[in-house]
A and B are shown apart, each in its own frame.
Chain A
Amino acid sequence: MARKSVSKAHAKIQELSWEPTFVEKDPKYKTDYTFKEGGQKDPMKQVLQSYFPMQEEKDHRVYGAVDAAIRGNMWRQVQPRWMEWQKLFLSIIPFPEISAARAMPLLTEAVPNPEIHNGLAFQMIDEVRHSTIQMNLKREYMRNYIDPAGFDITEKAFSNNYAGTIGRQFGEGFTTGDALTACNIYLQVVAETAFTNTLFVAMPSEAAANGDYLLPTVFLSVQSDESRHMNNGYGTLLMALANDENKDLIERDLIYSIWNQHAVVDAAIGTIIDYGSKDRRKDRDSYAEMWKRWYYDDYYRSYLVPLEKYGLKVPHDVVEDAWRRISDDFYHHHVAQFFATGWPVNYWRIDPMTDEDFEWFENKYPGWYDKFGKWWEHYSSLSEPNGHNPIAFENTGYVYPHRCWSCMVPCLIREDTIMDYVDGQWRTYCHKWCHWQDTVAYREEYKGRPTPAMGKMTGKREWESLYHGWDLADIQHDLGYVRSDGKTLVPQPHVQFEQDKMWTTDHCKGIEFQSPNVLLNEMSDEEREKHMEEYKQGFTINDTL
């Protein structure tokens, strides 16, 4: 369809909507924001008659690449270190994608602008595309990669794993609570406009460097739909900004969304990009360098800051705090260390770091070796079963962390940890902004105004409390992370494929698993204060085991 025709067609389809007269609108999905009618236009001029042929053409390219990868046997040159992390990433991402589809009626009900509704409908079906195309990619990995275990249980594992739950809020956050908070600010303005750059642009380049050209093919195709979604979000944001009453809520939602997604997405993607790669060229970008480019410069400085002229209160301190955690406080390196500590309850393998990796990390993140080098050496020496326990249960000096009640990533930058008695229990938070999320943002009023539509944080938020006092081997069986012989574990702390180097549940029997939060709540006040004081001081990794 020619561009001129698309413009005319788009103008024509504005005739489709009408204002109902037989019923009173009563939106099921509530918001505390208020809107005036009309407003923003859709500069993308989306019409289904031009959309479908364009999307089918994209599909031809994707599936052509899938065929080429299979026929050319791409898996002869993919790095197992990389492919293993895809067991985690690709178990998580289809749910946020489909949740984005589910989120669209939150806005069609809340935002009085049929032109934006039209864009939202396109986004809905785009998201169905993304979710199913990603599931199909994962199936191809399962069918063609040397070790399918972990891919084969993918959606079950996503549902019952601590890391899956961390990722799940990047999805549940789109579909619950205040309609504008969830679907506009959390999903469109922050997740899609900011974080799809690291997810869908930075990650593909790393995949290609590790011999995987299917992930770039699929995810760059996905990313090509995102500009339309960003546009939907921008139009709605401008409508919200047109009403001064919304400005405090927008500020609240930007703080929550920017911080929470930093905590969640940077934890996972930072780890996958920096610890899932074998490409250690000095001039390849680290995750921090990618973040600076895609998030700080492209999103924060080029998208958010210019909106200040429309009255947007940009939470500069939150962005700077996130950047500081990545650039100075080794945030995702702590996360990688935690993931590797927890390997016996993962559903993917984690490859030990080598001298070449150490050199690269030290070059990219000066001071890295002093913080993490010794521990990764211990990890490497404990990676094959040889009469010892998994590293979490050996005396390395590492202290198993408390979990953050808000973002559910553990409190890994120990000195930032906040402990508070909230809603009848002692909770821990990884940072003041996560504490703020639970105690200020997710409450029934904000800055003195009632916020009856704001959602609630629910669920069993500390995964470890599900298995407090259990035997580790029983947990592994309960989770289903055991291979077809009934005892070899799905996760391994290495990427070796000889059966005799694989850990089994027999190696994990007799190890008791404990919940830091249960223990914290069992302590006396005095014990608890002392414990937290020591916790915040951190730990020292032993030179020898």
Chain B
Amino acid sequence: MSEPGPEGRPILEAAGRPGRSIPQVVLTDAEAGAAEFAGSTSRVFNYFTPQKRRNTTYENVTVDVQPDPERYLTQGWIYSFADGTMGYEADWTRMKSSDWHAYRDPNGEWERTFYRHQTRNVHQVQQTMELARTTNVFADWDEKWLEIFAKHVSTWMHPEHGLGMYVFVRAQREAMTNMHNNAISVMAIHKMRAAQDIALLNLEVSQQLPDKFDESVHQEVWMEDPMWQGVRENVERMFVLGDWAEEVFAANIVFEPLVGELFRSGFVMHAAPLQGDYVTPTVIGLIRTEYERDLNATRDMFTLLVEDEEHGEENKQVMQEWLDKWVPLSIKAAQGLEPIWSEPEVQAMSFEESFGQAKSRFEDILSDLGLQLTEELVQK
């Protein structure tokens, strides 16, 4: 055995087997607490203030990863766009903040929690589908419901995909902190997984009932059926916004409660079981659960902005403008869907009841943010 060296004691010569070479294993005694010196106990990321008493894992892996000249970025951004716009600019939204970095995702999503949640959801859907397949429950579906599933439930894959791929994926590029952008990335994937879940349920039904089910009619319905054009217009108009906060607001504060939850919870979740379909509510129920998480993240995002001491009032005014712009579109989209409620053989809830619940939920969300609808919008 070799003599102890200054960095530690070799415990194994790097001899290995003939013709092979392996690195030495050396005991270096470089573990925490092996020596005391200035800074030897400084074992917490200390460059940000945690929201609560201690840094959470989410904060540790998220805060300040996207730097900011307002904090520590002394040399500034070193590349810009052609017009001189920097990599991240506060004026990419009309919202203003005294401290963008105060925001934390209340769901605390980072990779480990996110993949765990998503895998659980995937397993839940796959188990339900497997059970449905092996017990041949699709054969029990009411024929009318099969048509509704093909023409309407399946069509819902499109707004989910559009919001995920062309609204949230872009919005996650643009906010001023990593906390905002990571939370929006999660929203994007929630939506895309939801869209793919619906598409794969459609595929499953088409494989089980190949002669009775029109698996691709949803594309035509989405593009041409008058019932769906309001929804499509609402979603497409979000594709061309240049303001990331408006995109999140229009999607999660306005569209989702007034249209998304109206259709998913107000129609599918109630109507499907009555037609012999327990599979679809599992898929749609997950979308609802994920929207609740997204809404929490969104509500905290905008609550900070309306409560901002310096800019809160101005932010509220801008949000009111956004309501004036987006609520009519979403109401039109919602009302366009009304005939669907009367299509099932067995009806669970009227459109008026469903829409009433959606509006009530919407008003609660606005109330949380200290916002209210104008009289004109209330009348609608």
A interface, CB within 8 angstroms of B: 1, 8-9, 12-13, 15-18, 20-26, 28, 30, 47-49, 52-53, 55-56, 59, 63, 73, 75-81, 83, 94-95, 98, 101-106, 108-109, 117-118, 120-121, 124-125, 128-129, 131-133, 135-136, 139, 142-149, 152-156, 158-160, 165, 168-169, 172-173, 175-178, 208-211, 278-279, 281, 283-284, 408, 444, 452-461, 463, 466, 480, 483-485, 487-488, 490, 495, 497-499, 502
Contact = CB atoms under 8 A, between A and B. Distances in A.
A209 B80 contact: no
Given A53-B122, A128-B111, A459-B76, A148 B199 contact: no
A57 to B, nearest CB: 9
B169 interface: yes
B193 interface: yes
Nearest to A500: B37
B200 A144 contact: no
A124 B28 contact: no
Given A63-B112, A155-B63, A463 B26 contact: no
Contacts of B344: none
Interface string B99-123: 0000000000011101110110111
Contacts of B30: 75-80, 83, 145-146
Given A165-B78, A173-B79, A15 B37 contact: no
Nearest to B74: A160
A24 B164 CA distance: 19
B283 to A, nearest CB: 11
Given A23-B236, A108-B169, A284-B23, A80 B28 contact: yes
A59 B112 contact: yes
A497 B31 CA distance: 12
Contacts of B236: 20-23
A136 B197 CA distance: 31
A345 B25 CA distance: 32
A483 B115 CA distance: 37
Contact of B115 (A9, A55, A461): A55
23 contacts: A9-B200, A16-B199, A18-B162, A55-B115, A76-B30, A77-B30, A79-B30, A95-B66, A98-B181, A125-B114, A133-B112, A135-B61, A136-B110, A139-B57, A146-B40, A148-B43, A149-B38, A155-B63, A156-B72, A175-B173, A176-B87, A456-B82, A456-B84
Contacts of A15: 157, 199, 216, 218-219
Nearest to A117: B165
A532 B97 CA distance: 48
Given A49-B122, A121-B169, A133-B111, A165 B64 contact: no
A48 to B, nearest CB: 5
B75 A165 contact: yes
A278 B7 contact: yes
Contact of B61 (A136, A142, A147, A173): A136
A76 B27 contact: yes
Interface in B202-260: 202-203, 216, 218-219, 222-223, 232-233, 236-237, 239-240, 242
Contacts, number: 359
Given A17-B161, A102-B173, A49 B196 contact: yes
B208 to A, nearest CB: 13
A288 B42 CA distance: 37
A229 to B, nearest CB: 15
Nearest to A9: B200
Nearest to A114: B165
Contacts of B63: 155
- Which interface residue of B39, B63, B79, B185 has the most chain A CB atoms within 10 A? B79
B62 interface: yes
Interface residues of B, number: 105
Closest 8 CB pairs of A and B: A483-B39, A159-B72, A149-B39, A488-B38, A135-B61, A156-B47, A155-B64, A209-B23
B188 A124 contact: yes
Nearest to B160: A16
A370 B200 CA distance: 66
Nearest to B164: A121
B79 A23 contact: no
B8 to A, nearest CB: 8
A79 B46 CA distance: 25
B172 interface: yes
B374 interface: no
Contacts of A26: 240
Contact of B79 (A153, A278, A458, A487): A458
Given A160-B72, A457-B79, A459-B75, 19 more contacts: A76-B27, A98-B178, A124-B172, A128-B111, A132-B111, A139-B60, A147-B37, A149-B38, A152-B45, A155-B47, A155-B65, A159-B71, A160-B73, A168-B67, A408-B78, A455-B82, A458-B78, A484-B41, A487-B38
Given A136-B60, A484-B38, A23 B239 contact: yes
Given A78-B30, A104-B169, A147 B39 contact: yes
Contact of A101 (B36, B185, B195, B200): B185
Given A108-B165, A281-B23, A121 B115 contact: no
A222 to B, nearest CB: 11
A133 B71 CA distance: 24
Nearest to A462: B75
Nearest to A75: B31
A139 B237 CA distance: 42
B81 A455 contact: yes
A283 B21 CA distance: 7
A148 B42 contact: yes
A135 B290 CA distance: 26
B119 A52 contact: yes
Given A148-B32, A156-B64, A175-B87, A169 B79 contact: yes
A96 B233 CA distance: 36
Contacts of A487: 38
Interface in B69-98: 71-82, 84, 86-87
A169 B34 CA distance: 37
Contacts of B161: 16-17
Contact of A459 (B42, B78, B111, B193): B78
Contacts of B36: 499
Nearest to A165: B75
